[in-house]
């Protein structure tokens, strides 16, 4: 059972569902988000994460379920009555408005006195490092500055909940790395509740207190970054969290362990007790490229207890930086492995996967869709269709 939060939560979704016409997009979403918690909604294109964010914001009407904030039912309230602010992926800055006008726009709509608006705008500019830019328009700002203006407009109205719809996707990689830390630091300093949509695994890991992984409109797993990374609940989650290497092995269970049988490509191995609930027969083994130790096949010594040892041949070697990446043929499968030195093409090798880095799951039925990152097929795309008028992040 997926754990998506305990208790009622400050922001609580119960049985939430949504559809576009006859097409279901969200189904049975139960999620409790605590006050001042930063939650990332993570998933591939079409998984429903932006639809979920828009339902929270009030721009999508749920077909079932409820949304409450602090115990108050907001399911059918308009967006401006929910105490939330949304930062759009495109920032949605008006080209004719200055920085000060944009930040103060929400307060102007609320008919706040002009001195109060000016004070709040100045406060936001100081908080976000926009001092001296009050009179500039969007065309005169960098991408990072435009992102800060959009954030300032959202925060100026003092929302209870901040909603972020991939606000960093339009920034180049160098700026994105710094801005995401700035947003996280700001959220912690203000103690605001935040829900952030992203398809970037690393972005979710470094920014969020908790990650909610969506697949085909349902929660596949929810937990801390460490939990979902080190203890994926399914093969789908393992693949999405970077365990893209996959092998079909066979084994049997006993009362406490699972025994992987020896084959032409692997040694026999008794693995963790956590796998003792697996059924006898074929299993799907997954691990990350950086998880294993690559050795010459003739290297002496036995692997540590619980370590899976695979045998293969190097197909190619590349250097992406830091470590050498090897493409290795293991039986009829190709896996990737990183190592501190380069092995020669055609060299026989053995690859050792430690227990904590090996994820085993019951083998999927023949004909089941491939998972994210699986080779040789392309990365998985969620099969849930959506009209072009409702783009999914």
12/28 Cα distance (integer angstroms) = 13
Helix axes 143-156, 173-190, angle to 10 degrees: 20
Q: Which helix (H) or strand (E) holds 95?
A: none
pLDDT number for residue 127? 86
Q: Looking up tokens 């049997």, which residue turns up?
A: 252
Q: pLDDT band at 198, cuts 50/70/90? A: very high
pLDDT in tens, 114-142: 999 999 999 999 888 899 999 999 999 98
Confidence of residue 274 (pLDDT cuts 50, 70, 90): low
Q: Using CB atoms within 10 A of its CB, is residue 45 exposed (0-12), middle (13-18) or buried (19+)?
A: middle
Distances (CA, A) of 343 to 237, 316, 319, 324: 31, 9, 11, 9
According to the model, what pLDDT value does residue 275 have?
58
Task: State pLDDT tens for residues 162-193.
Answer: 999 988 877 777 778 888 888 898 899 989 99
**CA triple 75-162-7, angle to 5 deg:** 60
The CATH code of domain 11-230 reads: 3.40.50.300
* C-alpha to C-alpha distance for 364 and 96, rounded to whole angstroms: 55
Phi, psi of 233 (to 5 degrees): -85, -15
> Lowest mean pLDDT: which of 38-42, 72-76, 280-284, 386-390?
386-390
Residue with tokens 């899976």: 308
Question: Is the Cβ–Cβ distance between 128 and 152 less than 8 Å?
Answer: yes
Identify the burial level of 175 via C-beta atoms within 10 angstroms of its C-beta, where 0-12 means exposed, 13-18 middle and 19 or more buried.
Answer: middle
- The DSSP output letter for 59 is S
Long-range contacts of 135-138 (CB under 8 A, 24+ apart): 135/98, 135/99, 135/100, 136/98, 136/99, 137/95, 137/96, 137/97, 137/98, 137/99, 138/91, 138/93, 138/94, 138/95, 138/97
Q: Report helix angle 143-156 to 114-127, nearest 10.
A: 140
Reported confidence tier of residue 253, pLDDT bands at 50, 70, 90:
confident
pLDDT the model gives residue 129: 86
* Span(s) in the chain for CATH 2.40.50.140: 243-362
Instruction: Note whether 121 and 200 are within 8 A (CB).
Output: no
Please say whether the beta carbons of 195 and 11 come within 8 A. yes
Residue 329 has pLDDT above 80, yes or no: yes
The yes/no answer on whether domain 243-362 falls in CATH 3.30.465.10 is no
* pLDDT over threshold 50, residue 300: yes
The rounded distance, in Å, linking the Cα atoms of 362 and 371 is: 14
Distance of CA 150 to the CA centre of its chain: 23
Residue 33's H or E segment, with its range, is strand 23-33
Please, which pLDDT band fits residue 90 given cuts at 50, 70 and 90? confident
Three-point CA angle 370, 43, 338, nearest 5°: 65
The answer to whether 239 and 286 have CB atoms below 8 angstroms apart is yes
Report the pLDDT value the prediction gives residue 32, as an integer from 0 to 100: 97
Task: Specify the pLDDT at position 5.
Answer: 53
CA distance 102 to 162: 17
Q: How many residues does the chain have?
A: 393
pLDDT at 390 over 80: no
Query: CATH 3.40.50.300 spans which residues of the chain?
Result: 11-230
The predicted pLDDT at position 168 comes to 82
CB-based burial label for 81 (10 Å; 0-12, 13-18, 19+): exposed
Residues whose CB is less than 8 angstroms from the CB of residue 314 and which lie 6 or more positions away in sequence, other chains included: 326, 327, 328, 343, 344, 345, 346, 347, 349
How high is the mean pLDDT of the chain? 87
**pTM recorded for the entire structure:** 0.84
């Amino acid at each position: 059972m997926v754990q998506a939060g305990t208790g009622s939560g400050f922001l609580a979704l119960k049985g939430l569902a949504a559809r576009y016409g006859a097409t279901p997009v969200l189904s049975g979403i139960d999620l409790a988000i605590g006050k001042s918690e930063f939650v990332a909604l993570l998933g591939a294109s079409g998984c429903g994460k932006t639809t979920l964010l828009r339902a929270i914001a009030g721009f999508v009407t749920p077909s079932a379920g409820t949304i409450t904030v602090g115990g108050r039912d907001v399911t059918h309230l308009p967006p401006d009555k929910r105490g939330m602010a949304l930062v759009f992926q495109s920032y949605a800055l008006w080209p004719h408005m200055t920085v000060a006008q944009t930040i103060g726009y929400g307060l102007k709509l609320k008919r706040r006195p002009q001195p109060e608006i000016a004070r709040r705008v100045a406060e936001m500019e100081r908080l976000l490092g926009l001092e001296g830019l009050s009179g500039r328009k969007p065309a005169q700002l960098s991408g990072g500055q435009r992102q800060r203006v959009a954030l300032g407009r959202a925060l100026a109205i003092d929302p209870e909940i901040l909603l972020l719809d991939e606000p960093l996707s339009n920034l180049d990689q160098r700026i994105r790395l710094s801005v995401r830390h700035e947003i996280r630091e700001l959220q912690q300093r203000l103690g605001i509740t935040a829900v952030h949509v992203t398809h970037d695994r690393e972005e979710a890991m470094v920014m969020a207190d908790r990650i909610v992984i969506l697949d085909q409109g349902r929660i596949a797993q929810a937990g801390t970054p460490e939990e979902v990374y080190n203890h994926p609940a399914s093969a789908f989650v393992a693949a999405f969290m970077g365990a893209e290497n996959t092998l079909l092995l066979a084994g049997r269970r006993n009362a406490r362990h699972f025994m992987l049988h020896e084959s032409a490509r692997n040694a026999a191995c008794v693995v963790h007790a956590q796998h003792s609930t697996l059924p006898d027969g074929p299993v799907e083994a997954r691990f990350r490229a950086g998880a294993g130790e690559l050795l010459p096949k003739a290297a002496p010594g036995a692997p540590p207890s619980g370590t899976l040892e695979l045998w293969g041949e190097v197909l190619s070697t590349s250097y992406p930086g830091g470590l050498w990446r090897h493409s290795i043929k293991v039986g009829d499968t190709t896996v990737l492995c990183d190592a501190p030195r380069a092995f020669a093409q055609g060299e026989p090798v053995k690859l050792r996967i430690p227990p904590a880095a090996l994820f085993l799951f019951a083998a999927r039925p023949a004909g089941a869709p491939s998972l994210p990152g699986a080779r040789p097929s392309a990365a998985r795309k969620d099969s849930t269709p959506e009209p072009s008028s409702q783009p999914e992040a």
